[in-house]
Amino acid sequence: HDIVEERLDSHGFGNTCPARAGTNAAARRANRRVQFVIITGDTPAGRCPAVAR
């Protein structure tokens, strides 16, 4: 898709911003995900991204 690697960044939020609380199989399944988010500027530090459903 011709995206320059320097324009990509990755962050892990599973431990601090889970999509579903809990440690059962359903919660782990909901939190085991990869999302691609397109941003158009600086995202405030320390905030969890919105979870798409």
Q: Is the CA virtual torsion 41, 15, 36, 8 positive or negative?
A: positive
> Mean pLDDT score of the chain, rounded to an integer?
80
Structural domain including 39 reads 1-53
- Provide the number of structural domains found in the chain: 1
Residue with tokens 């909901």: 30
Give the model's confidence band at 35: pLDDT under 50 very low, under 70 low, under 90 confident, else very high. confident
- The pLDDT value given to residue 12: 82
Query: Cβ(19)–Cβ(31) under 8 Å?
Result: yes
- The pLDDT value given to residue 52: 55
Amino acid at 42: D
Residue bearing the bigger pLDDT, 45 or 26: 26
DSSP code, position 4: -
Give the model's confidence band at 3: pLDDT under 50 very low, under 70 low, under 90 confident, else very high. confident
Cα distances from 41 to residues 14, 21, 28, 30, 53, in angstroms, run 23, 29, 31, 28, 23
Residue bearing the bigger pLDDT, 53 or 38: 38
